[in-house]
């Protein structure tokens, strides 16, 4: 059997070279052809004739390099042209139909905002609390931004109907938690705009707590002991403003780590440092006013004072004596 070889020379030269390699031997009355491998077979006279005409043309085409990319490109161009013609035809039909009748806007179910309260139902404090717990239970299945908007509507309803500062503070804590959850991954940094909104909301909560000392937010308060509607008793519920401030400080660090320090965006985000410093100072003042009442846990006191010392230590000041005295007083408390 003649070996099949892939050559890059002219087919005619290759055939002549193969014919020269053949050796003839006599076996009885016939002739046999032995190839370079030593395997012989009986051949006829037609095998010895050189390839000509159609056979030679087929052999030449066999060794030619086939370009399949051109065929693919041509087919792709034809498909795109057919698609363009189809789109143009549909557009023409729409333009013709537009002249005959006017367009009608179709409203889908997901485009309609679901009302938070029934139009005929009376808005009461118990209803707002019920809606608050319903939203909290279904927050995993609700769009995060829609969930925040619903909570803001609850806060607005509670404020308009004067249901008490206890309920307002409770809804604010839920809004802050929802703003933190806008980030899908805890390991990723928050968006800076969302972070600034959260800072403003926490600052508003601290203002509310400073104006109303009868509202107590403590991590030691159990769910059964919570009171957010009865104005005859102090309002109290489970939570921690200090841990919110600590979370904001951690998120700001992640924002700086995920931003190029040589970019203009980084310079813009540096204003977050002044915002968090002001918030930490305000939270420390809140702790100082509530520390004697026992509403603030000892761990929370250490956290807020640690944050104040950390940010104060790296802060530039022209009055070094004043800052040394402040640092000394903070360290003594810790």
Distance, CA of 50 to CA of 330 (rounded, Å): 105
Pairing mode, strands 215-218 and 235-238: parallel
pLDDT digits 0-9 by tens, 35-45 = 444 444 444 55
User: Is 206 in contact with 195 (CB distance < 8 Å)?
Assistant: no
Q: Which residue has the higher pLDDT, 332 or 275?
A: 275
Give the per-residue SS3 of 236-260: EEECCHHHHHHHHHHHHHHHHHCCC
First-to-last alpha carbon distance for the chain, in angstroms, is 95
Bridge-partner residues for 216, per DSSP? 236
pLDDT digits 0-9 by tens, 132-169 = 888 888 777 778 888 888 899 889 988 888 888 999 99
User: Is 268 in contact with 195 (CB distance < 8 Å)?
Assistant: no
- The pLDDT, as a whole number, for residue 23 is 47
Q: Which residue has the higher pLDDT, 194 or 329?
A: 194
The radius of gyration computed from the CA coordinates of the chain, to the nearest angstrom, equals 41
User: Is 280 in contact with 311 (CB distance < 8 Å)?
Assistant: yes
Residue given tokens 């060794």 in the structure block:
63
Q: Which residue has the higher pLDDT, 314 or 235?
A: 235
Query: pLDDT grade, residue 174 (50/70/90)?
Result: very high
Query: pLDDT grade, residue 192 (50/70/90)?
Result: very high
Q: Which of 100-104, 307-311, 321-325 has the lowest mean pLDDT?
A: 100-104
Does 280 score more than 60 pLDDT?
yes
Dihedrals phi, psi of 139, to nearest 5 degrees:
-70, -25
Give every strand in the sheet of 30-34, ordered side by side.
23-27, 30-34, 40-42
Query: pLDDT grade, residue 185 (50/70/90)?
Result: confident
User: Is 228 in contact with 237 (CB distance < 8 Å)?
Assistant: yes
Mean pLDDT on 118-127? 76
Does 324 score more than 60 pLDDT?
yes
- The pLDDT, as a whole number, for residue 61 is 76
DSSP 114: P
- The pLDDT, as a whole number, for residue 37 is 44
Of 139, 161, 162, 166, which Cα lies nearest the Cα of 151? 139
Residue given tokens 């905002």 in the structure block:
113
Q: Alpha-carbon torsion 51, 54, 59, 64, what sign?
A: positive
Give the rounded percent of residues in the chain with a pLDDT score beyond 70: 69
Q: Which of 123-132, 189-198, 281-290, 310-319 has the lowest mean pLDDT?
A: 310-319
- The pLDDT, as a whole number, for residue 265 is 92
- The pLDDT, as a whole number, for residue 51 is 62
- The pLDDT, as a whole number, for residue 107 is 42
Dihedrals phi, psi of 154, to nearest 5 degrees:
-65, -45
Does 109 score more than 50 pLDDT?
no
Bridge-partner residues for 24, per DSSP? 33
Does 243 score more than 90 pLDDT?
yes
Give the rounded percent of residues in the chain with a pLDDT score beyond 90: 25
38: left (phi over 0), alpha (psi -120 to 50) or beta: left
Residue given tokens 């159990």 in the structure block:
222
Q: Which of 14-28, 228-242, 287-301 has the lowest mean pLDDT?
A: 14-28
Residues in the chain: 334
pLDDT digits 0-9 by tens, 62-78 = 777 665 555 556 777 88
Long-range contacts, stretch 194-200, CB < 8 angstroms, 24+ apart: 195/248, 195/251, 195/252, 195/255, 195/272, 196/272, 196/275, 198/248, 198/251, 199/248, 199/272, 199/275, 199/276, 199/279
- The pLDDT, as a whole number, for residue 138 is 79
């Amino acid at each position: 059997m003649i070996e099949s070889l892939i050559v890059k020379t002219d087919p005619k030269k290759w055939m002549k070279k193969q014919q020269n390699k053949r050796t003839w031997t006599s076996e009885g009355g016939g002739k046999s052809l032995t190839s370079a491998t030593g395997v012989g077979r009986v051949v006829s006279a037609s095998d010895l004739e050189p390839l000509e005409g159609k056979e030679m043309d087929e052999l030449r085409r066999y060794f030619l390099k086939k370009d399949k990319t051109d065929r693919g490109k041509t087919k792709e161009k034809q498909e795109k042209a057919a698609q363009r013609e189809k789109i143009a035809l549909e557009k023409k039909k729409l333009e013709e139909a537009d002249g005959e009748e006017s367009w009608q806007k179709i409203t889908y179910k997901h485009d309609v905002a679901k009302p938070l309260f029934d139009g005929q139902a009376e808005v009461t404090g118990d209803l707002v609390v019920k809606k608050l717990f319903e939203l909290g239970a279904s927050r995993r299945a609700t769009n995060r931004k829609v969930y925040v908007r619903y909570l803001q509507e609850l806060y607005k309803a509670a404020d308009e109907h004067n249901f008490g500062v206890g309920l307002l503070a409770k809804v604010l804590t839920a809004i802050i938690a929802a703003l933190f959850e806008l980030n899908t991954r805890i390991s990723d940094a928050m968006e800076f705009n969302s972070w600034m909104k959260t800072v403003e909301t926490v600052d508003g909560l601290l203002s509310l707590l400073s104006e109303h000392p009868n509202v107590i937010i403590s991590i030691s308060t159990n769910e059964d002991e919570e009171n957010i509607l009865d104005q005859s008793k102090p309002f109290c519920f489970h939570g921690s403003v200090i841990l919110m401030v600590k979370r904001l400080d951690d998120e700001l660090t992640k924002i700086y780590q995920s931003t190029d320090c040589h970019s203009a965006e980084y310079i813009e985000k540096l204003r977050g440092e002044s915002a968090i410093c002001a918030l930490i100072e305000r939270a420390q003042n809140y702790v100082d006013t509530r520390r004697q009442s026992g509403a603030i846990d000892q761990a929370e006191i250490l956290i807020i004072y640690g944050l104040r010392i950390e940010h104060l230590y790296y802060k530039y000041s022209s009055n070094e004596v004043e800052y040394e005295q402040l640092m000394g007083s903070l360290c003594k408390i810790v």
